[in-house]
Amino acid sequence: MAEKNKYQNRRQFVKQAGRLAVALPVAYLSVSLLRKTSAGEFVWQIDPLKCTQCGQCEKNCVMTPSAVKCMHSFQMCGYCDLCSGYLRQGVKILDTAAENQLCPTAAITRKFIEEPYFEYTIDEELCIGCAKCVKGCTAFGNGSLHLQIKHESCKNCNQCSIAIACPSDAIQRVPISDPYKPKAGYNIDSE
């Protein structure tokens, strides 16, 4: 019996020492991490000024279709008849025919307002975030079309898989209190 007690004491001691050995790093880690903690949450968002319209947003999002959508700053738009975001380059006739449209899913609606202005609106149900229109608009137009991550479809993954693929580092974590980075002139007070 005495023999057994000796082993049990030793085992007890090893266990206590082990517990201390694992608890100390845990405590240390918690304290050092707590100092880097903030109560605010983060979401992913595209900085349209960094975006190079490479088309990775369409392909790399875990969601199908991508949570990245095109947004339109109407305040910046020139309401052109010859819209470089809506029409393919070199079209002969400026109309809504499918073969003239740049958008592969026909997600942009063109509406006549008054001579010579046309309004362009994005149907977000159809938009796949391919950035073709954004590229056209930024290259030849006012740059009023731009990409944003729409938070109703974004799952806010721990690591955004588009951010990994993005060649221009345009996708960053932003505070949840300020979840969009729209281009200037955007009517942000609508919420």
Partner 1 sequence: MKKRLPYIILFILLAWHAVSYAWQRFPKPEFESGYVYPEYQFTNPRSTAWEYIDVGVLAGVLVFTTWLTLKKRSRNAIIWTSLFSLAYFGFFREGCICSIGSVQNMALALFNENYTLPLSAFLFFLIPILFALAYGRQFCAGACPLGAIQEVTGFYSVKLPRSAEAILSSVPYIYLALAILFAATDSHFIICKYDPFVGIFRLNAPATMIIFGILLLLAGLFINRPYCRFLCPYGVILNWLSRFSGSHLTITPTSCVNCRLCEDACPYNAIIPSNLDAPKEKTVTSRKRFTIYLALIPVFVITGALFTLRFSDNLAMINRNVRLANEVRMETVAGIKAVSQQAVTFKESGKTVEVLYQEEEVIKERYRKGSPIAGAFLGLSLGIALLSLSAGRLRDEYKPDQGKCYSCGRCFEYCPLHNNNVPLL
Work out whether 9 is an interface residue with partner 1 (CB under 8 A). no
Q: What is the smallest separation between the CB atom of 128 and partner 1, expressed in angstroms?
A: 14
Alpha-carbon distance 106 to 65, whole Å? 15
Which residues make beta-bridge pairs with 175?
42
Work out whether 24 is an interface residue with partner 1 (CB under 8 A). no
Q: Single out the residue of 96, 100, 109, 161 in contact with partner 1 (rule: CB under 8 A).
A: 161
Q: Single out the residue of 24, 62, 97, 106 in contact with partner 1 (rule: CB under 8 A).
A: 62
Q: Which residues 90-129 are close enough to bind partner 1 by CB under 8 A?
A: 113-114, 117, 119, 121
170 Cβ neighbours under 8 A, 6+ residues apart = 46, 47, 48, 50, 51, 52
Work out whether 66 is an interface residue with partner 1 (CB under 8 A). no
Is the preceding omega at residue 25 within 30 degrees of 0, hence cis?
Answer: no
Quickly tell me which residue has 């947004």 as its tokens. Answer: 71
Q: For partner 1, which is the closer residue by CB, 37 or 93?
A: 37
